[in-house]
Structure 1
Amino acid sequence: MSDIIEELVAAVGDACTKYSDADAVSAAPAGSWNSRLWTALDQIGVTMVAVAEENGGAGGDVSTAVAVLEVLGQFSARVPLAETALLAGWLLAGTDAVLPTGPMTACLAGPDLRIGAGSESVAVSGTIARVPWARCAGHVVVLDGRRVLVLRRGDFAVSEGINLAGEPRDDVLITATVPAAQIHDLPPESEISAQNFRNRSALARAALTSGAARRALELSITYAGQREQFGRPIAKFQAIQQHLASMAAETLLSKVAVEAAALIIDAGGDAAAVAAAKIVTGQAAGLVSALAHQIHGALGYTEEHSLRLSTTRLWAWRDEIGNEEQWSGELGQRALSAGTAGLWQLVTGIR
């Protein structure tokens, strides 16, 4: 990690320490978002961290965005930064569209979306299910094949839903006529595709999961050092030490897998690394959350303890954009398709 990214990560961590509710003893309302933290992140300059400066962004890359997302996952931050910086900003920059201010979200069109034709205005209708943070977003950016549709707040309604962690996963309901200028064609040479969108979405969830696993480990280390049984801290017991060691190993492996995948994506490499990162973090999510709750006992499940903020996110993010079983199947199929001649390149990225 470069000095610049380290400083940026430290600044994001400071903002989260000041404004996030990772240590709150009472849960924030389900489906709410942290506007104060978003404002602080915007002032730091990370809300468009992965968008080139010539397109109005901060000029960072995927690796920088992943480093920030790990911190946000660690602090259970209720902000749509992955959707704004890594997805919506990427789609708009790919068409040279003007970047709006404020939080955004992004999604794939799906089979129910209908976009008409017209030189000045276009009829758009349909429903897009479980769009992250839609109720908080000023704009919803939709990838429809080789087109990017920008929906403003007045162009859509929301049927509210949440994931297991209480984060917004809303159905976007569209019955509107929008200016044709809100529909942008992708250039023929653009790398933007539905598959690349899915890869970025999966990498974002993996990065957030990595951060949440680290938080669960930190809470478990602290609790094990404070909780006494039979006259000594439970951290002195071998079984607890083994639990903590296993959690630490999974947390470190997740971090390495996520950051390696980001570097490979930045270098234009094969997206198999994203599949590997989603598999590794998905497996870690199950083990880390189980061991964290074993160490904490019944206390960790209560509203009074902040462990639930991390573990419910681990469970939710593990299954979003495909769980480890689905990605394992895809990675296995890629290995079979590569054959003996291409397997080495698939595994190492070396031609």
Structure 2
Amino acid sequence: MEKRPSIAVIGRGLIGSAAARHLANAGQDVTLIGPVEPADKRTHQGVFASHYDEGRITRKNATDIFWAEASIASIARYRMIEATSGIAFFSPVGALMAGAESGEFLGNARRVAQQLSVLHQDLRGELVAEVIPDLSLPNDWSALWEPDDSGHISPRRLVAAQTKLAEAGGAILFDGVVTGLEETAAGVKVHTKTGTPVFDQVLVAAGGMTDHVLGRPLSYKVCGRTVALFELSENEAARLGYLPSLVMGTPEGHYFLPPIRYPDGKIYMKLGGDPDDILLKSPQEIGDWFRSGGRSEVRDDQEARFRALFPAVEVLSIKMDACMTTWTDDLRPEIARLSERVSVASAGNGAGAKCSDELGRLGAALLAE
């Protein structure tokens, strides 16, 4: 029997774990390499990833046809991934895309929804308040409401589900930090702190660390982001259980997650959206950013926006957390062969969590070409 080529997927995040599942299901000899989530981000001295979270918006529609099609493909596989892994990660509470009635954001969203026949209801004017009475949008705003197959996912649990299924398909997990690659005639040497295994093919899916793993000049714009978390009582969370996720057409790209229980046992509503970019140009800067926990001035701005959006919601406490987004110049993920042996599938451009299974599939497909 002909020996199968050995494949390393570098990055145990959303795209990497998905790629490993697709490769393993195709019968490939695959090793998924990356560290586990740190127990304490404030003291952790290793690498960080953006999927250490319990809430990311998922929806079929978008203002861009590529991201809508990738999301539709991924969402169609959510329930299969949940059922076969036994790990629930999808909360189908619905989603809103809201913005000024005359703005490009809502106009583009309507165009994409129509082109792809995305099931939605167009809530204009006072209809938003009738459907979601706790939400107070500006008077000139409307919203597109997706009631089905949308809401939010737990990126942390989605990664766990993908990883479990990859292992079930024969993938090997390697708990380590990749410090660089070296292409040789015999294969690609993957340098880690605990060894240097050699593989026939490598797929790099390391998010904000991708450029550093590849050892190339910075091609991504990696940005630090701050999110505010608003703690609710059990009763208030139950009362607000009908709320959908919300994406807003503001210059800062604000978004909102409805009540979600976090690992500390508390229930939070989350609001994100930064007024400017904190550029993270090295692994040290990425680590320092995550350990910082975010910017208090951004949290304060998000609190003011939250109070305006949800004036009647009772909040017990407010805290903030740090995250990061990875952007390309064309606002598309980088899914490409870089050489005969090295490929890349990375850069979610602030939209990659919900459609990560499709981005991972596309990355896996590169190695079958």
Q: TM-score range by the shorter chain?
A: under 0.3
TM-score (normalised: structure 2): 0.23
- Going by fraction, where is strand more abundant, 1 or 2? 2
Of the two structures, which has the highest relative contact order with CA contacts closer than 8 Å and spacing of 6 or more? 2
TM-score (norm 1): 0.24
